[in-house]
Structure formats: C-alpha cells, structure tokens
Amino acid sequence: MCAASVLESLGLTKTRIEALSDGVFATLMTVLVLGLDISTRTEPTIFQQISAISGHILVYGLSFLVLGVYWVGHHNMFHYIKRTTRGFLWVNILFLMSVGIIPFSTTVYGPHIGDAQAIVFYGSNMIAASLFLYLIWWYSTRYRELTEKNLDPHLVSSVDRRILTGPVIFLIGIGLAFVFPLSSFILFISAIIYFILPGHIDIHFTRTDHSHKDDES
C-alpha cells in the first residue's frame, strides 16, 4: 500500500517497533511496583509501615501516569509515521532507554519526596524522555520525511508545543525544589493532568474526523 521503506525491506516494520515499545511500557508499568517494599521497615504495625512509604506510593502513582502519558504520546505519533529508517529505529531505542530508567528515578525520588536533589534527578529523567520523544517527532516530520505527505503543518507545530510543554514544566518543578520541595510534586502531578486532558490535537482530530465523514457522504 504505502511505499515500502528501506528498513521495512530489512524486516523492521513500524509494527515491530511498536510491539517492542508496547512490551517495554507494559513491563515498566509493572516493574515500578517492585520499588515498593515494607519488608525491612521496623514500625510496629502494617499501617504505620505503609504510611512510612506513602511518599513512595504517591511517586509510584505519578510514575505510572507519566508512563501512560509517554505511551499515549508515542502511539499518537506513530499514527502519522508511515515509513521507518535505521536512524528512526535507534532514536526510538534511545527514547525507550530514557523511559526505561524511570523505575530507578522512582526509587530515587519515592523515599526522598522532599529532597531537592532527588527532584532534580527525577525531573531530569522526565526532561530527557520528553526531549527524546520530541526527537522522534522532529526526525519523522522534518529531518526525514517518514510521515504521510499531506500532514497539516498546524498539527506538526501543535504536537511540537504539546511535547515541549513537558520539559518547561519539569524545569520549573526542578527550580521550585530548592524553595519548597513538595510544590514540585504538585506541579509534576499538574503536568500529568494537563497531558491527560484533551488538547488541541484532539480538537484537530475531531475536525479531521468530521471532514472524513463528509468525504464519505
């Protein structure tokens, strides 16, 4: 159907890369929970032990939703990508690597939710993952033409803005860490809610979807 890319002829189609990515995300979401542990706690009751790691449980929730946001973002992108190259493949693996370190960042941040350095580390991980996600988008839409030809330039810049909002919020969160650490957590959660709520891209698509229906009629 679509023009076969060089890489597809190598046997590495979009489907393959998506399968690996889905597997990595599913495992990451699960592996997060392994950081939660009360077996070495010395508090007398279970409730006190759990309450002692409540910060870590909150960060578990944050990281799970963060992985959800990256997964959604990654797949939305792949919707437009029609062809792949070796370079594209490796940009994806670098993105997965940066996302793959999130369980570690979670075990750094979780038990030290009020520690500025832990926030810097966690926030930096988020910024790195966002920038690699942006790199995938930039690579596909501008460096190499891997998307469909008639891609709306407003969509491209709308996705640009949406992805790059992340690093900005996380940078502010890192800055706040040195003033009032807990506000960073609140900001990170706010960032996630911003990404969960429908954005311009959805509106764009609803419109596209309607116009498609017009075409059909």
Does position 55 interact with its own copies (CB under 8 A)? The reply is: no
Show Cβ contacts of residue 181 under 8 Å, excluding neighbours closer than 6 positions.
Answer: 113, 114, 115, 116, 119
Q: Segment 122-151, which members bind its own copies (CB under 8 A)?
A: none
| Long-range contacts, 2-5 (Cβ 8 Å, 24+) | 2/82, 2/83, 3/82, 3/83, 4/83, 5/83, 5/84, 5/85, 5/146
Q: With CB under 8 A, what is the number of residues at the site for its own copies?
A: 71
Largest CA distance in the chain: 69
Does position 10 interact with its own copies (CB under 8 A)? The reply is: yes
Measured between alpha carbons, how far is 98 from 132 in angstroms, rounded to an integer?
Answer: 8
Smallest separation (angstroms) from its own copies to the CB of 175: 17
Does position 208 interact with its own copies (CB under 8 A)? The reply is: yes
Does position 173 interact with its own copies (CB under 8 A)? The reply is: no
Does position 24 interact with its own copies (CB under 8 A)? The reply is: yes
| Region near its own copies per CB under 8 A, out of 17-25, 147-155, 163-171, 174-182 | 17-25
Does position 182 interact with its own copies (CB under 8 A)? The reply is: no
Which is nearer to its own copies, 43 or 180 (by Cβ)?
Answer: 43
Show Cβ contacts of residue 120 under 8 Å, excluding neighbours closer than 6 positions.
Answer: 174, 177
Closest CA to 41 of 30, 31, 56, 27: 56
Q: Segment 62-121, which members bind its own copies (CB under 8 A)?
A: 64-65, 68, 71-72, 75-80, 86, 89-90, 93, 96-97, 100-101, 103-104, 107-108, 111-112, 115, 117-118, 120-121
